[in-house]
Amino acid sequence: MNMAANFAMVLPEEILSIGAIALMLVAAWGGAASTRAVSIASVFVLVGAGIALAVPSGNGVAFGGLYRADGFATFAKVLIYLATAVAIVMAPDFFRRTAGDDLRPEYPVLMLLSAVGMGMMVSASDLLTLYVGLELQSLAAYVLASFMRRDARSAEAGLKYFILGALASGILLYGISLVYGFTGSTLFDQIAGAYHANAVATGDARSLGLMFGLVFVFAGIAFKIAAVPFHMWTPDVYEGAPTPVTAFFASAPKVAAMALAVRVAVAAMGPALGEWRQIVIFAALASIILGAVAAIGQSNIKRLLAYSSINNVGFVLVGLAAGTPEGVAAVLFYLTIYIAMTLGSFLVVLQMRDAAG
């Protein structure tokens, strides 16, 4: 495949990246006065990236198997871009009423860069592509969580998210290194072949190493989707972060992380269904129960919605636990409804705060 065809497949990410860099220059030149223009332009950049998803030549495998553009990724990216655009649109009014016009033009730029990372996550067909996309999304999210610089709770939320995110990234990277060490590849197709060859447990070192790699990879992903028992950061970060950022965290990154989990489970580790299904079932049941029970005693609406998101992750994981095409379709269908309800909930929360707080 020639390089032009490769770049045609990553056109949405190219539009977002070029748009983010250009708007970053505008923000540096125009300062705070350019916030409104940068925000509007960011929404148009997201619309352009969404239109680029319809390019006929944008389906297939690019860059030697590192990137996959297909219907699954396209559907997930539409949800991601929609949620990101709504999070950008709802921010100016919140910051004007709450933080005294503290919104900076860097906010929509960080949203665009996070969207680039999420796009790479859902299209990854290689463990290194997966990790690069995950880190790009996370680095932007750490800054967004602490965006209200004069608010101690926002700074605390950003610090907690950064520390626990770094821990989860380390766990995921260790799992990736184990999988690579025992399969000799980071490509999903070749990893699936290695797991298929070891589908029958033999008790040898390779089978044990592949099993440990699977566990660590799923543990790292579980943090990103805030599944029990890796949910501890969610209530504090959701409460401390600015409300538009919390709405963003509860929607777009959730879709990206769930799509990533589905891609890894089905495409890379599908032959090990019996092993990872046990992990997913436990995480699903624990998330459903804890999310529902812990929400009962909450007096803060954002913490309540945080536990609601944990509960909803459990229901999404039920579809993944099936390990079938129908289960994957159910995951996407549930995520569509979840995005609409979550964004609607946070828009209602924003309307509950008047000029007096």
Establish if 63 belongs to a structural domain: yes
Q: Which residues, 6+ apart, have CB-to-CB distance to 124 below 8 Å?
A: 66, 67, 68, 130, 133, 260, 263
> For residue 103, is pLDDT > 90?
no
Establish if 356 belongs to a structural domain: no
Is-contact 277 271, C-beta < 8 A?
A: no
Per the structure, the count of domains in the chain is 1
> For residue 58, is pLDDT > 70?
no
Is-contact 257 121, C-beta < 8 A?
A: yes
Is-contact 114 44, C-beta < 8 A?
A: no
What is the structure's pLDDT at 355? 59
pLDDT, mean over the chain:
86
Least confident of 57-71, 88-102, 297-311: 88-102
Establish if 94 belongs to a structural domain: yes
Is-contact 229 218, C-beta < 8 A?
A: no
Q: Could you give the 3-state DSSP secondary structure of residue 68?
A: strand
The Cα–Cα gap between 28 and 24 comes to 6
Is-contact 49 58, C-beta < 8 A?
A: no
Half-sphere exposure of 134 (CA within 13 A, CB side): 26
Establish if 174 belongs to a structural domain: yes
> For residue 35, is pLDDT > 90?
no
Establish if 210 belongs to a structural domain: yes
**pLDDT per residue over 194-216, tens digit each?**
877 766 545 555 677 788 888 89
The whole domain housing 233 covers 3-351
Is-contact 314 288, C-beta < 8 A?
A: yes
What is the structure's pLDDT at 43? 92
Establish if 177 belongs to a structural domain: yes
What is the structure's pLDDT at 116? 94
Single-letter residue type at 241: A
Establish if 106 belongs to a structural domain: yes
Tokens at 48, concatenated: 């352009």
Most confident of 128-137, 155-164, 273-282: 128-137
The pLDDT confidence band at residue 262, using thresholds 50, 70 and 90, is: very high
Q: Could you give the 3-state DSSP secondary structure of residue 60?
A: strand
The pLDDT confidence band at residue 353, using thresholds 50, 70 and 90, is: low
Establish if 357 belongs to a structural domain: no
> For residue 99, is pLDDT > 60?
no
